Structure 1
Amino acid sequence: MTLVFPETRTQDIRTALLGRREELESEYTATVAEMTLAGVVDAGDDVADLGTKAFNREQEFALAVSIRNRMDQVDRALERLDAGHYGTCETCAGEIPVARLAAFPSVTLCVACKSRSESRY
């Protein structure tokens, strides 16, 4: 079953998703820029400084990957909106509650399927 949203609602969803995509893009760009600046090794660095810089780079890299994953989720939600599958669970094809979509516009799984996927890890 696919949720059918009125055209104005679809446009509101698209606008919200595109706005979120822009926010994430800015955050990603800033994070990557910080990574390139923070990775510079100074000739005066001792072992502790190098370790701290390596740790910080790993943290920034993990943050960048997380932001990139969220951007991909938004992109997938936009594709599903265009294809008419927005609001339908990717796993069970059940309807995702509107309240869940309002809270997490890029969500692609219903609560039950999301819970099952997380319990596997």
Structure 2
Amino acid sequence: MTERQKRQIRERLKERVAVLTIRAEQADLTLANCPDESDLATEITRHNLDLALREREHRELREAEEALKRFDAPDYGLCEDCGGPIGTARLLARPSTRLCVCCQAEREEPALSAA
């Protein structure tokens, strides 16, 4: 990985942390007052979807912050399962990833088989 690519990855991590932090601060998860049951059901569904999105973004924020902390460590960019290098293109696309493509596929395979 070149120094330029490292700078790009670090900047993407910082940008993602900033965006997700702003979204978390602006989150409005209140239920509106609904005049009837169907409006209430719609509002509850919207609320549950918003809540799931916020939880996902919070998890992504944690992952990005952790990646920034370990960025300068010698093992950043190495797969946690096999120890091999994670491709630069993968790190540019998802800087917080901890697994190479092969190991990620192995982890997802049982879940896909069960579905």
Please name the residue that 2:91 is paired with. Answer: 101
TM-score, length-scaled by structure 1: 0.78
Alignment counterpart, residue 14 of structure 1, candidates 10, 19, 42: 10
The structure with higher relative contact order (CA 8 Å, sep 6+) is 1
Determine the C-alpha separation between the residues in 1 that align with 2:82 and 2:39: 50
Q: Which runs of 4+ in 1 moved over 6 A?
A: none
The runs of 5 or more residues in structure 2 that have no matched partner are: none
Alpha-carbon offset, residue 93 of structure 1 = 1.4
Alignment counterpart, residue 110 of structure 2, candidates 89, 105, 120: 120
Alignment counterpart, residue 22 of structure 2, candidates 21, 26, 45: 26
Taking only aligned residues, the RMSD between alpha carbons, in angstroms, comes to 2.0
Per-residue CA deviation, residues 50-81 of structure 1 (Å, 9 max, x unaligned), is: 11111011000011011111111211211221
Aligned residues: 111
TM-score, length-scaled by structure 2: 0.82
Identical-residue share of aligned pairs (%): 32
Determine the C-alpha separation between the residues in 1 that align with 2:66 and 2:81: 14
Alignment counterpart, residue 55 of structure 1, candidates 40, 45, 70: 45
